[in-house]
Structure 1
């Protein structure tokens, strides 16, 4: 348990440092118009992946000869005093010994890891709910073979076009991807605008964005505490949409005409009752990025001013930043109680017993906290499953009885009750975990631990 806790803390520190460094480099590099939109999306994806898997990838410095690593570790040992015992001075630096070390109390380390894992479980539960919502959307939609035949040149082979009562347009589905369009928009959409929409969503499928999106959302859920990774994810979402727009505009024939068709399709979008949580796992554009997308389509710089080596230079800078961040990231060490160098006769057995009793009480409080958090997580997950099932049954009942009228209002009522139930479940979960944390901290303070 001690080694796994230390490893997770080492990973978190290095992950955060790599995120900060690569995000700073990209902020400067992506302002250059010499990089094409498709390359921008690729660089953002590479930086996002580097921040997630970079801490566990062996660095070239780990393969340095022992003499070089020992010399590099001297900077970490210059703080040793002249009277440091010889056995405490490392004679040979192992891999990673050139990094500085931070110490942390074991109780605080365990609390941080518990909070990290608790938040990750909560976010992953919401991601699972989004997956179920996406499957439900596909289940209640209807296939449109006439559109598939009319626009076969714009749609990848094997991809279905499906009509949904109120969701879309979006690319959805990992194993069997499909393009979902709202039925009400389709009725009023002219053929050129429909072709532009299909080309955009088909570009997501051809690029493999749905699989990348699932991995991205999973990483964002696991590292919910890293705001830099969330900002990188938002930038990647926008870059992905722009890259698809640029590719679709080329297939459309003219960027200006594609932008006009895109604006026409957006004007004909039906008013959605609320943002569906399924959009987190669908390649669906956000209206908040419309201005940047249109600007990228109509103001693409000519290929003559683009520098072919620019993406490679940025990729090299990212690799260098990852290496430097890995070397600079400090290691985490757990505090250990050490016996005094020269014990005196004044040390009584009563004090030792008291210290051991306090440690046992703290360990019991920590176990109680872990059990409370685990129980709250299980209860929260089960509650979400029950809410999802009730929500699905309500929507299916409306779909079966859609001729009764007030279709959109009935859907809005079901969705409102769903939102209220999920919000209450989240509030209850947070309240229980907060109370358990408060009890643990109070016990820690009463025992005199920092």
Structure 2
């Protein structure tokens, strides 16, 4: 569950950051340049879709680039940037050169596709709060879905009971779209995805003249021509899922306002009179106030100041040239392409393999699973372990206070069991909170044979585990000269320093300052180790 929480939380953070960046960019752009509401409505909608969908495209599953542990390595390098290597054979130097090239290539790959997710320790410490938020997320989405479903049902009822306008007016000549009326409708509206109709409230039909009704019908017709019913449905789906997101709310408000203004201007141009259309907006608002109806609840204006803004935009619309569909499509495509290109180059990927590996560091088995696994490992019963794996127990998930099955086997110095565990999928780099990792454990117990076996199977010789440092630091702290020599000869960094947590006073630990014996210190100094 920790991995799932990390993934959801990280995607949510990417959504907010990418959305905030896009919102700021568009907000500044429309302030600096005079962009029509028609164009703005589509740009804001494009930005909303990018902020919603693009974070999901950053999710990858690449075990090859997954981080070995939730930590940062700190290495001191000499002036040329190369690690000092002394007292090694030509063969070892050659091997190291090959490893260096491979590491360099891997580093270049990592630089071109950086990874980032919320730290596993943060998710672990905040898991109860995040689980509560996840529950609230589901409840909120369900509640909003039910609300929108009820609204849809009410709309269908209005549509099914609507009748043709009997009043002798000419608005039906404006469009082939059926124009109906209903006493249940509170404001002009469009309904129907595949066979749209325009529904006008009976109160407006009774109180408005033909000339006053025409702008309202043309406004709804513009919504149909722009396919706003379909795009509005898409917005509602996004709002249901991301109901908690301030970014989605901000985008939706911008889309709604600019969409309404775009339809206002379309209707005004078809009337060939901006003043006439602006007056219809004012008349409609006056009628609602006279009848003591809330114009906000009716959906005519999302905020009271929107009326003034819409009137001003309509009156100034004669100064603007209507953007062509091709220009709008090209602008949205440019925004999408530029955002994706920028994010692909600079936005870090969300690696499922890294999240899964890191989450295990803070995860734990149940009490029953732990008891079965510890018993099997203590007795060296590989068949029982295979049975537990077949029953769904992950041998790479740590047992609290004991570590992973492989760490326990290393502690027992059971090299046969270590080999068999690796053969059935035990991760040689899986760390455990408070128990290090397999190679660190091998250094702690000073078992060189197991250490060689782990390295041969891909153990990271310079892995850092918070609270347990590195294999080399543990070897020097134990005073094991043989283990220290072997680790250094196989690539362990003599100057890889680790900063401890606040619990240990943020102490800087290195192989040299943790060395227990004079012989170990002398060996490290010969290899240019520093404190």
Tell me the TM-score normalised to structure 2 length. Answer: 0.52
Q: CA deviation at 1:287?
A: 5.7
User: In the alignment, which of 135, 143, 155 is matched to residue 163 of structure 2?
Assistant: 143
Instruction: Evaluate the alpha carbon distance shift between residue 285 and residue 170 of structure 1 in structure 2; reply closer, same or farther with a 3 A threshold.
Output: farther
User: In the alignment, which of 140, 152, 161 is matched to residue 180 of structure 2?
Assistant: 161
For 2:295 and 2:340, the matched residues in 1 are separated by: 40
Q: CA deviation at 1:128?
A: 2.7
For 2:31 and 2:273, the matched residues in 1 are separated by: 25
Q: CA deviation at 1:30?
A: 1.4
Q: CA deviation at 1:238?
A: 0.2
Q: CA deviation at 1:257?
A: 1.4
Instruction: Evaluate the alpha carbon distance shift between residue 37 and residue 274 of structure 1 in structure 2; reply closer, same or farther with a 3 A threshold.
Output: closer
Structure with larger Rg: 2
For 1:139 and 1:306, the matched residues in 2 are separated by: 37
For 2:220 and 2:168, the matched residues in 1 are separated by: 13
Unaligned runs of 5+ in 1: 63-68, 346-450
2:317 aligned partner? 300
1:220 aligned partner? 239
1:353 aligned partner? none
2:205 aligned partner? 186
Q: Does the 8 A contact of 2:41 with 2:255 survive in 1?
A: yes
Q: Does the 8 A contact of 2:140 with 2:243 survive in 1?
A: no
Whether 1:272 and 2:293 are equivalent positions in the alignment is: yes
Deviations 1:308-366 (A, max 9, x none): 97985686355434433454445664441523214758xxxxxxxxxxxxxxxxxxxxx
User: In the alignment, which of 212, 216, 222 is matched to residue 197 of structure 1?
Assistant: 216
Instruction: Evaluate the alpha carbon distance shift between residue 32 and residue 153 of structure 1 in structure 2; reply closer, same or farther with a 3 A threshold.
Output: farther
For 2:164 and 2:192, the matched residues in 1 are separated by: 16
1:192-271 map, 5 Å: 192-269=211-288, 270-271=291-292
More helix by share: 1
Higher relative contact order (CA 8 A, sep 6+): 1
2:44 aligned partner? 44
Which stretch of the first structure deviates more once superposed, 202-211 or 134-143?
A: 134-143
For 1:118 and 1:301, the matched residues in 2 are separated by: 48
Whether 1:15 and 2:15 are equivalent positions in the alignment is: yes
Q: Does the 8 A contact of 2:42 with 2:332 survive in 1?
A: no
Q: Does the 8 A contact of 2:268 with 2:314 survive in 1?
A: yes
Q: CA deviation at 1:95?
A: 9.6
Instruction: Evaluate the alpha carbon distance shift between residue 169 and residue 309 of structure 1 in structure 2; reply closer, same or farther with a 3 A threshold.
Output: closer
Q: CA deviation at 1:258?
A: 1.3
| SS of the residue 2:218 aligns to | helix
Q: CA deviation at 1:167?
A: 1.4
Q: CA deviation at 1:275?
A: 6.3
Q: CA deviation at 1:155?
A: 3.5
Deviations 1:158-179 (A, max 9, x none): x442312461122234344333
Q: Does the 8 A contact of 2:114 with 2:348 survive in 1?
A: no
Q: Does the 8 A contact of 1:123 with 1:222 survive in 2?
A: yes
| SS of the residue 1:146 aligns to | coil
For 1:6 and 1:99, the matched residues in 2 are separated by: 13
User: In the alignment, which of 96, 110, 114 is matched to residue 98 of structure 1?
Assistant: 114
For 1:260 and 1:293, the matched residues in 2 are separated by: 11
Tell me the TM-score normalised to structure 1 length. Answer: 0.61
| SS of the residue 2:198 aligns to | strand
Unaligned runs of 5+ in 2: 78-82, 84-95, 363-430, 446-531
For 1:266 and 1:309, the matched residues in 2 are separated by: 34
Q: CA deviation at 1:193?
A: 0.9
